[in-house]
Each structure stands twice: as C-alpha cells, then as structure tokens.
Amino acid sequence: MALNTPFKITILISILILILSLVLIWGTAKLAPSLIHYNVLSNDPYIKVESLNVTSNGVVIRLVVINNGNLTFKPAGGWVEVVDTGQYGNITFINGYLVVELPLTPQWVGLNSVGVKGLVRGYLNGSPAYIAFFDVVPVHVVNKVYIVGFNYSNCVITIELGVNTVIPVIIDSVSNMSLFTHTSPGYYLFNIIGSRAINTYVPAGNHIINIVMPIKPGNNTYVYACSLSEMPSSGYVLYMPIEITYIYPGENITVNQLMVKVVQSGG
C-alpha cells in the first residue's frame, strides 16, 4: 500500500526534528564545560580533634575550630562518633571549647588510637553551615594520684591521698619524706632518709585514702617537732616522693612521682 503525501511529509518532519535535536544535544555537550564554573574554597575553616582523654570519670573529647582567611565559622552544636567503639555523643560547650563526654567502657582497654568522625553545625560568615570531619587521634589515659591534704599531730602524720585512675594501682612506698615550715628559711618538723613501705591497693575509679605513719626518731628518721603547733608557721610543706605501680591488663608499670603539698596554718 502506497503512503499518501501527508503521511510522507509527517515522517520527513519527524526525521528533521530528530536530526535537529541530536545536533542541539551535541552542541550543548561541547558548550557545557565553558558554561560551568567551579569555585574551590581556599583556607576554608575545618574541625580538628585537639585531645582525647580517658579518665575514671569517662572519655573526654575536645574539638577546636580552625579558622583561616576571611571565612569564620562559629559552631552551634553537632555530634561525634568514635568509630572503634561505636559510641555517639552530642557536642557541648565548656569554657569556650567544643567537648564531647562519653562513658568509659571495657572497649577502651588496649586502644592506642581511635577514629573520630562527626558533624558540627554553625554559621559561616553569618550563614548556616555544616562542617564534617574525621580524625585518627591517640588515646591519652589520665591517671592521677595526688595529695589532698595532711595533718601532723602527736608524732603521727595522716596523709589524705586522692586516687583518680582508670586501672587499679598499688601505693608501694614513700621515700625521703620531709615536713617543714613554709618560711624562708624553712625549719624541719621531721626528715626521713630512706624508704617506708605502704603497700596499699586501690581499685580503679575515684577514691580518697588515708595513709597514717608514725614518725619516731631513729632508723634515719630525724624529728624536731611532734605537731604543727610546736613550730608555728603561716604554712607547712610536705615533700613526699612516692612509688606507684599501675596495674594494666597483662602488664604492671611502676613509676616514681614527686608530690609536694602546701597547707596553710589552721587548714
């Protein structure tokens, strides 16, 4: 059956339109690179994990905003995830720092470094903006043993120790301990040459323990007063090198730490 003339014209027009469309598509593809403009930010702000501390109270992650050039990012909140433990926390503001606090879990035992990722929302030169980040950071374990206070009476010294650790510790001994007035020159109340065993076990966590030691003359112990009241002063200084053993999983580490505590008279 022969095609009539109107139908032939319709087919011809369709072919022409198709060819024209192909030409337009080809021309647009050639022209597109010159029409698209790329703008890459230079010196743009970013987020950095400044520190990650593991303490007996939990894990504390501190972030900082690094602002470069003319772009200023002011944070308003966000979240952080520790990839290695799967823990997630929201960002808070403490003393001007971006801080995330996480509970201490057994997963942290043995970790030397972890991956930390997150998203911080805020304002970039006044406009709402978000900054994503990922850092691999070292794990800093914070163990703290310190003198809270002391009292000396009737030739007996009572030392109040604060122990804030993520692992158990043993207070092994003190050596070359002395107590003297906080004056110039200072006057000794007593001076011990050599070491005295303590051997006190303290579990992980926050604890206050009392070490009670009689101070008697002899055996390299020199006593000049048996109480603070016998040698009045505006303050007293306890000088106490101490040996501590930290009980890590599979390994014990013994360290020597110098502790010095000054107390004012009457408190």
Which tens digit of pLDDT belongs to each residue from 77-120?
999 999 999 999 999 998 878 999 999 887 887 789 999 999 99
Which tens digit of pLDDT belongs to each residue from 135-156?
999 999 889 999 999 999 999 9
Say if residue 124 is in the same domain as residue 212.
no
Within-domain flag for 37: no
Average pLDDT, the chain: 87
Say if residue 122 is in the same domain as residue 153.
no
Within-domain flag for 8: no
Within-domain flag for 191: yes
Say if residue 132 is in the same domain as residue 149.
no
User: Rounded CA gap, 220 and 144, in Å?
Assistant: 30
Within-domain flag for 3: no
Which tens digit of pLDDT belongs to each residue from 153-181?
999 999 999 999 988 999 999 999 999 99
Mean pLDDT for the stretch of residues 45-70: 91
Predicted pLDDT of residue 98: 95
Say if residue 109 is in the same domain as residue 169.
no
Say if residue 103 is in the same domain as residue 136.
yes
For the chain, the domain total comes to 2
Within-domain flag for 200: yes
Say if residue 155 is in the same domain as residue 224.
yes
Say if residue 181 is in the same domain as residue 101.
no
Predicted pLDDT of residue 38: 47
Say if residue 50 is in the same domain as residue 119.
yes
> Coil, helix or strand for 145?
strand
Within-domain flag for 151: yes
Predicted pLDDT of residue 31: 59
Question: Which of 121, 141, 161 corresponds to the end of one domain?
Answer: 141
Full DSSP string of 178-190: EEEESSSS--EEE
Say if residue 166 is in the same domain as residue 194.
yes
Count of Cβ atoms closer than 10 Å to residue 209 Cβ:
16
| pLDDT for residue 37 is more than 60 | no
Say if residue 156 is in the same domain as residue 257.
yes
Mean pLDDT for the stretch of residues 59-78: 90
Say if residue 97 is in the same domain as residue 154.
no
Question: Which of 141, 161, 189 corresponds to the end of one domain?
Answer: 141
Domain that holds residue 95: 46-141
User: Rounded CA gap, 244 and 80, in Å?
Assistant: 35
Q: Which of 9-13, 42-46, 79-83, 221-225 has the lowest mean pLDDT?
A: 9-13
Predicted pLDDT of residue 179: 96
Residue 98 belongs to a domain with what CATH number?
2.60.40.10
pTM above 0.85, yes or no: no
Q: Which residue would you say has higher pLDDT here, 34 or 117?
A: 117
Cα Rg, the chain, nearest whole Å: 35
* Contact status, residue 146 vs residue 61, Cβ threshold 8 Å: no
Within-domain flag for 105: yes
Within-domain flag for 21: no
Question: Which of 141, 158, 179 corresponds to the end of one domain?
Answer: 141
Say if residue 80 is in the same domain as residue 55.
yes
Pair of tokens at residue 92: 């808070």
